[in-house]
């Protein structure tokens, strides 16, 4: 995927949502609806989340420098962590407001609020779809996806609860729906937070089978032992590996290294590989360094 293709969903999503926010504020002030004004503020926080994720994508494409030899790829991990925390704060706000409304019911939503929220379902839903494919392989994109999915869910809740409340006295429905949506969002956000913290601490990425990597290396002909095996994420789409292994022969090192490198890249989603070969009894530090 090219750099432009990676950035396109963010540009489209931010543009559409900014237009929607302006429209929401306009209708909110015109109808004196605090619900619309408050929702516009919430939507702006999601645009901020998209902007942070977009910035991380842009930074990750910058070339490495002498001081930052991996470039800025780790910015995507920080963005995912930021968006996870940001979502948790938003969920806390939704639940707090919903609980307050349970004890202090509001008047039913007017048709203006319902219609504007329905437009929000379309815009937020479309933006969510833009990130469906990318969120499977990129934790940073997943953060953006969850932000927009959350907004879509909230907008759907506003529409459904608003319509029912127009024809009934069920004022409790709006906060109850909000709480249910917040719980659903929390489940996805907790997974995002867990994965982002794991990558931040140089844990093994979820998309790397560390046991499979170990078997792959130890099953190579002439390999008698491995140690100091490390697998970590440079960014949300780039993984790295370093390992020391012991061979019982020095023959065919180039072919051996090239073959192992190809297997690790192809089968285990590892892009940056460093292999140090040692010979003989490594406990005696009798080794010759060969790496790729």
DSSP codes of every residue in 251-263? TTHHHHHHHHHHH
pLDDT of residue 212 exceeding 90:
yes
- Tell me the C-alpha distance between 193 and 191, whole Å: 5
Q: Are 45 and 92 in contact (CB under 8 A)?
A: no
Of residues 178, 218, 143, the one with CA closest to residue 38: 178
Q: What is the pLDDT of residue 38?
A: 67
- Quick one: tokens of 13? 């999503």
At 5-55, the pLDDT tens digits run: 788 999 999 999 999 889 888 877 776 666 666 677 777 878 888 999 999
Architecture of domain 210-284: 2-Layer Sandwich (3.30)
Higher pLDDT, 5 or 282: 5
Of residues 281, 6, 260, the one with CA closest to residue 140: 6
Q: What is the pLDDT of residue 33?
A: 63
Reported as a pLDDT band with limits 50, 70 and 90, residue 272 is: very high
At 84-107, the pLDDT tens digits run: 998 888 888 878 878 887 887 766
Q: What is the pLDDT of residue 109?
A: 59
pLDDT of residue 250 exceeding 60:
yes
CATH of domain 3-200: 1.20.1510.10
Q: What is the pLDDT of residue 43?
A: 79
3-state secondary structure 158-186: HHHHHHHHHHCCCCCHHHHHHHHHHHHHH
**Helices 111-130 and 34-60 meet at what angle, rounded to 10?**
10
Higher pLDDT, 169 or 277: 277
Q: Please list the alpha-helical segments (H only) found in 104-172.
A: 111-130, 139-167
- Tell me the C-alpha distance between 74 and 59, whole Å: 9
- Quick one: tokens of 180? 């249910």
At 53-83, the pLDDT tens digits run: 999 999 988 888 989 988 999 999 999 999 8
Q: What is the pLDDT of residue 31?
A: 67
Q: What is the number of other CB atoms lying within 10 angstroms of the CB of residue 278?
A: 20
One fold for both 3-200 and 210-284?
no
The pLDDT of 107-135, averaged and rounded, is: 84
| Strand 239-247 versus strand 223-233 pairing type | antiparallel
- Tell me the C-alpha distance between 4 and 219, whole Å: 41
Q: What is the pLDDT of residue 271?
A: 92
Q: What is the number of other CB atoms lying within 10 angstroms of the CB of residue 19?
A: 11
Q: What is the pLDDT of residue 280?
A: 67
At 214-236, the pLDDT tens digits run: 999 999 988 989 999 999 999 99
The proportion of the chain whose per-residue pLDDT surpasses 90, expressed as a percent, equals 37
pLDDT of residue 245 exceeding 90:
yes
Q: What is the dihedral of CA 34, 104, 97, 154, to 10 degrees?
A: -70
Q: Where are the domains of the chain?
A: 3-200, 210-284
Widest CA span in the chain: 83
The pLDDT of 176-202, averaged and rounded, is: 87
pLDDT of residue 147 exceeding 80:
yes
Please tell me the number of Cα atoms within 13 Å of 195 on its side-chain side: 29
Residue spans of beta strands (DSSP E) within the chain: 223-233, 239-247, 272-279
């Amino acid at each position: 995927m090219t750099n432009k293709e990676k950035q396109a969903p963010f540009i489209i999503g931010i543009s559409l949502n900014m237009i929607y926010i302006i429209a929401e504020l306009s209708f909110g002030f015109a109808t004196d609806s605090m619900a619309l004004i408050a929702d516009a503020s919430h939507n702006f926080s999601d645009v901020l989340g998209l902007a942070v994720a977009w910035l991380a994508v842009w930074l990750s494409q910058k070339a490495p420098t002498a001081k930052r030899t991996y470039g800025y790829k780790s910015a995507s991990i920080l963005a995912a962590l930021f968006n996870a925390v940001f979502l948790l704060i938003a969920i806390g706000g939704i639940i707090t407001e919903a609980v307050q409304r349970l004890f202090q019911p509001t008047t039913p939503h007017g048709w203006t609020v319902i219609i504007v929220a329905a437009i929000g379902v379309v815009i937020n839903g479309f933006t969510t779809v833009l990130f469906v494919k990318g969120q499977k392989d990129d934790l940073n994109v997943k953060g953006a996806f969850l932000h927009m999915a959350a907004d879509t869910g909230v907008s759907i809740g506003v529409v459904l609860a608003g319509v029912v409340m127009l024809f009934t006295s069920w004022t409790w429905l709006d906060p109850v729906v909000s709480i249910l949506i917040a719980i659903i969002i929390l489940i996805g956000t907790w997974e995002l937070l867990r994965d982002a913290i794991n990558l931040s601490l140089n844990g093994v990425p979820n998309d790397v089978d560390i046991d499979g990597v170990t078997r792959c290396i130890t099953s190579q002909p002439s390999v008698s032992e491995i140690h100091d095996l490390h697998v970590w994420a440079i960014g949300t789409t780039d993984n790295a590996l370093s390992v020391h292994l012991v061979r019982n022969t020095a023959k065919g090192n180039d072919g051996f290294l090239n073959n192992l490198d190809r297997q690790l890249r192809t089968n285990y989603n590892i892009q940056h590989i460093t292999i140090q070969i040692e010979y003989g009894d490594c406990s005696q530090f009798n080794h010759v360094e060969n790496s790729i």
